[in-house]
Structure 1
Amino acid sequence: MAGSADGFSAAEVRAMRRALELAATPGVPLGPNPRVGCVLLDADGREVAAGFHRGAGTPHAEVAALAEAGADARGTTAVVTLEPCNHTGRTGPCSTALIESGVARVVYAQPDPNPLAAGGAEALRRAGVAIGSGLLEAEARRLNRAWIFALEHQRPFVTWKFATSLDGRSAAADGTSRWVSSRPARIDTHRLRGQCDVMLVGANTVAVDDPELTVRDEYDVPLARQPLRAVMGERDLPDDRRIFNDRAPTVRLRTHDPRAALAQLFDLDRRHVFLEGGPTLAASFLVAGLVDEVVTYVAPILLGAGRSAVGDLGISTIADALHLTVTDVTTLGTGADTNVRITMEPAPAPDEED
């Protein structure tokens, strides 16, 4: 039944779509907890109450919906985007809250991949609550793709972003790069930054370029909620670098090993890394097989010389090329202010042609 509406009522399908919309409410932190929505339906399929999780330490979506419904929760169907949790953390188990409220049926989109929280469906079954699972599972997984990936792989999901000319240059021969990415592309980059909970650069980028690495709006104003800024490398840096200001938290990762850096970030409850370092840092992650998504902004310009977008990958023949699968192509801006955003993911190398 996963990913389809087979076996579910039309009201449950509508409720799950609404729950997914609630889970994606703007402003909700993207980590370390998943985004979850819940809708309670009465016996006639009418909405009784709804809720969504607003971030770590706040009531879970099911508890928020139950609180809104009060005594009217008894006999309802809870439609929720993630299997109700079965553990006590900052809040109590949602499975227990649902049972005690008298909910008759629970429909969830996907099982909880967190081994500490899983088991809610079985607890509900033992209590006599009817269970339905797999409704719009693919949509629910897309909503929390980085969080799910991090739990399944025990490391953060890594998006590598870079801007380049048509001939693969991230800067001209004299080091200038200001117009490689257009203003629409830079605004879009900030949107993507805001979807991650870590922005990662190397110590050399901080020393040379002095980026502030904050998420800003279209008027270049820093937003209230900022991801963690991470600086990777053993090089000492002066305290006056902008990345150490008070506009966002910053952590030093004193290592050149990408796996060690990601392990430290995972231990800090970070689930999605936006990799914005230079060509050497990008190459180290690519060689280690630790890039899960590539977003590039291609400018319609030719430089002929200058800094390459990525460093040496140890590839000496075309047969060993690192292949990518294109998942989206979008044109941003018009005229001279145009970039093409290409989103890709690593793909297995194709079979060698005869």
Structure 2
Amino acid sequence: MYMAKAIILAKSVRHLTRANPRVGCILVRDGDVIGAGATQPPGGPHAEIVALNSCPDARGATAYVTLEPCSHTGRTPPCVDALIKAAVIRVVVACVDPNPKVNGAGLERLRSAGIRVDIGVLESQARALNPGFNRRMRGGLPFVRLKLAMSLDGATAMANGQSKWITGPMARRQVQRMRARAGAVITGVGTVVADNPSLNVRWDETDLDPGPLLPSDQPLRVVMDRSGRTPLDAQLFKIPGPVMIISQSASGPTQQAWADCGAQVVMLTAVTPATVLAELADAGVNEVMVEAGPTLAGAWMDAGLVDRLVVFQAPLLMGSQTRPLMHTPNWTELSDAVRLQLIESRAIGTDRCLEYSVEKA
């Protein structure tokens, strides 16, 4: 019961933590909840500290935590030290922290201090809170969601590029929620030139509370631009929040002009899904959302780096003079097909959202 409450708390901050894992903590003494907390935005207190600060005295309490308390100093001091100082007598942990800097060390510190530790309560539910953090810590890369919107007959735009709006307002609201939980939103320069998107989270279009976030606390917006075509008057530069442009042949003056617009410019020998994802992993990004046209969407699927495919399907027939869902010229045999497993299908307004896990080769 108490761990389930901690998981609910962690879910409530999915859009706030980004670089940090989402964690919830409940403090219980004599059957009563005396403190509760969830991880705050990067630089802010972790769930255990929020919970301890919410009660005047935690002596003799049991702490229910969705992730192993940290034992190292990062932006904040170790949470295990705070729990030991607070004189809790037991810590119940859902899952071990996959971060090599922790990974059991926090549990050993607690045990060494004479605190009883129990592990594995609602482990799978707690692990599902942080797919990006878990994947980056174990596999070195962020978790990738590819978002697509299409008509019933599989079109993403008319041949002339017209695509606003295929889906309805409720589906677009859900896309805003998806952006809010992402550490980075990736698009291609073709989409920037054609559609001039902002790619930011518009909080007024969600039912989420931005809490302590500032207007500039946005997901990192990433443009894959091999040759340097991102225009200086792009909407991306006019909206508060970080922008990264990744290129391989942009000229020096173009790079400087982007930097003058506030963008972080990254030059790579090749701009591919794999190199971009590695760059974002080094930057500490846990979850990535790809919003792109058919060519770049196909490149991400072809690279085998998509973990979730999220398709918003509208009850709309657009005919044959249209653009396809994705462009995959290398897929010529049935054996090239990518297998998907349907995780969820739900109605969102007049549309349907289909979420698939992607089988990796």
Q: Same fold (TM over 0.5)?
A: yes
- Give the 5 Å matches for 1:30-109: 30-42=17-29, 44-70=30-56, 72-109=57-94
1:90 Cα offset (Å): 1.9
- Give the 5 Å matches for 1:268-307: 268-302=283-317, 303-307=319-323
1:8 aligns to what?
A: none
1:341 Cα offset (Å): 1.2
Query: Partners in 1 of 2:88 and 2:122 — Cα distance?
Result: 21
Q: Structure 2 residue aligned with 1:226, among 211, 218, 235? A: 218
1:7 aligns to what?
A: none
1:344 aligns to what?
A: 356
1:114 Cα offset (Å): 0.6
Query: Partners in 2 of 1:28 and 1:290 — Cα distance?
Result: 23
Query: Partners in 1 of 2:225 and 2:64 — Cα distance?
Result: 46
Residue 165, structure 1, aligned to residue 151, structure 2: yes
1:290 Cα offset (Å): 0.5
After superposition, the Cα gap between the structure-2 partners of 1:220 and 1:35, relative to the gap in structure 1 and judged at 3 Å, is closer
Secondary structure class of the residue paired with 1:174: coil
1:220 Cα offset (Å): 9.2
Structure-1-length-normalised TM-score: 0.87
1:213 aligns to what?
A: 199
After superposition, the Cα gap between the structure-2 partners of 1:219 and 1:259, relative to the gap in structure 1 and judged at 3 Å, is closer
1:87 Cα offset (Å): 0.6
Structure 1 window deviating more from structure 2 (213-222 vs 152-161): it is 213-222
What amino acid sits opposite 1:239 in the alignment?
Answer: L
What amino acid sits opposite 1:341 in the alignment?
Answer: C
Q: Structure 1 residue aligned with 2:106, among 113, 120, 128? A: 120
Task: Tell me the alpha carbon deviations over residues 273-317 of structure 1, each in whole angstroms, 9 at most, x when there is no partner.
Answer: 110011111111111110000011112223223211101251212
8 Å CA contact retained: 2:68, 2:106: yes
1:178 aligns to what?
A: 164
Q: Structure 1 residue aligned with 2:333, among 303, 317, 320? A: 317
Structure 2, unaligned runs of 5 or more = 248-269
What amino acid sits opposite 1:160 in the alignment?
Answer: L
1:331 aligns to what?
A: 347
After superposition, the Cα gap between the structure-2 partners of 1:270 and 1:314, relative to the gap in structure 1 and judged at 3 Å, is same
8 Å CA contact retained: 2:13, 2:40: no
1:10 aligns to what?
A: none
8 Å CA contact retained: 1:169, 1:305: no
Structure 1's consecutive aligned runs of 4 or more residues displaced over 4 angstroms after TM superposition are 217-223
8 Å CA contact retained: 1:30, 1:196: no
Secondary structure class of the residue paired with 2:4: helix
- Give the 5 Å matches for 1:231-250: 231-236=223-228, 237-250=230-243
Structure-2-length-normalised TM-score: 0.85
Query: Partners in 2 of 1:149 and 1:218 — Cα distance?
Result: 31
8 Å CA contact retained: 2:176, 2:205: no
What amino acid sits opposite 1:231 in the alignment?
Answer: V
After superposition, the Cα gap between the structure-2 partners of 1:332 and 1:221, relative to the gap in structure 1 and judged at 3 Å, is closer
8 Å CA contact retained: 1:287, 1:313: no
What amino acid sits opposite 1:128 in the alignment?
Answer: G
1:221 Cα offset (Å): 12
Number of residue-to-residue matches in the alignment: 330
Query: Partners in 2 of 1:251 and 1:142 — Cα distance?
Result: 28
Structure 1 window deviating more from structure 2 (297-306 vs 107-116): it is 297-306
8 Å CA contact retained: 1:110, 1:137: yes
What amino acid sits opposite 1:22 in the alignment?
Answer: L
What amino acid sits opposite 1:214 in the alignment?
Answer: N
Q: Aligned residues: percent identity?
A: 39
Structure 1, unaligned runs of 5 or more = 1-13, 350-354
After superposition, the Cα gap between the structure-2 partners of 1:138 and 1:323, relative to the gap in structure 1 and judged at 3 Å, is same
